[in-house]
Structure 1
């Protein structure tokens, strides 16, 4: 019986270690209204470094300017990225900026696209994580049409979506 308990203890520790995820990737697809996207326009790599999640990558074919950048609840890129659902917000907080204490886990602010060339993505976040109870693995990263007002606007959508407009691109976050 003692040997069985030791084996069970070691097995459960190995299972716990196996759930620790340090790297992930999302292939970013151009949104297709009412359909499932097929055109890959970029890649974003996710790396967990202690309590910080680092996102690095690039995306092409985005209009010039700022675009809301969020993690959405579901891992589904269908229907013009609308099937990804709302921002990932398990604590039911208001929308905010990445450095706000009151914000969705999925609120990553804005990325900025240059007039020519690809959009470089370099984001670091202390709330989103690849492991644990509120892991973002299997969820969708979404790039929006307009700038995210970070919950500071006057629109009714400001406190829920940052009034960032339609979805231009998205990709499911998966382990690598």
Structure 2
């Protein structure tokens, strides 16, 4: 009887140690750690500049499950609404920022969320500047990604740009929603 009780005790201890050991192996498995860290990318910081080449704000882009989160802090704007878009070239040459090219539009659609033939993948909701000319906005785009190698990636070869316009985007008029001149620009690159 004593031998049987000792055998059961040793067997129970062996099972317990085995369970602890396999639980520790799961925690330190480099494959599982790498998988979770690879799905989470680092935020991209975009320095915005005005038509004189002076710093005029910052935008932070971060990949989320539903798309790309865009946090914008801009200054020196006229009070009111302003169109903001992703543009196809990662170049911001002053004073007009024409070097940024057209709106980022990998799907070849027309401009605007309210356009039945739209929108461009680079279209975003308007931002609003207060009476001091400062704008702070949290935007989301489900049409683009920060994952490299995808057609709609903002981190394509050569990069893309984030451009703020002088007027509000009407969300329907092609090619830019009647949003006027380009007044702020920032290059989006890794």
Report matched runs for 1:36-115 at 5 Å. Answer: 37=53, 39-79=54-94, 80-97=96-113, 102-115=118-131
Structure 2, unmatched stretches of 5+, are 1-33
Q: Secondary structure at the match of 1:109?
A: coil
Higher strand share: 1
- Is 2:42 the counterpart of 1:27? no
Q: Secondary structure at the match of 1:121?
A: strand
Match in the other structure for 2:31: none
* Native 8 Å contact 1:71 1:106 kept in 2: yes
Give the alignment's TM-score, normalised by structure 2: 0.71
Equivalenced residues, count: 149
Distance in structure 1 (CA, Å) of the matches to 2:87 and 2:115: 18
Structure 1, unmatched stretches of 5+, are 1-13, 152-157
- Shift in CA distance, 148/43, structure 1 to aligned 2, threshold 3 Å: same
The structure whose RCO (Cα within 8 Å, separation 6+) is larger is 1
- Shift in CA distance, 127/69, structure 1 to aligned 2, threshold 3 Å: same
Give the alignment's TM-score, normalised by structure 1: 0.76
Q: Note the aligned Cα RMSD (angstroms).
A: 2.4
Greater Rg by CA: 2
- Shift in CA distance, 86/27, structure 1 to aligned 2, threshold 3 Å: same
Q: Which is further off, 99-108 or 21-30?
A: 99-108
Report matched runs for 1:122-141 at 5 Å. Answer: 122-131=138-147, 132-137=150-155, 138-141=159-162
Q: What's the offset of the Cα at 1:22?
A: 4.4
* Native 8 Å contact 1:64 1:115 kept in 2: yes
* Native 8 Å contact 1:30 1:170 kept in 2: yes
- Shift in CA distance, 100/43, structure 1 to aligned 2, threshold 3 Å: farther
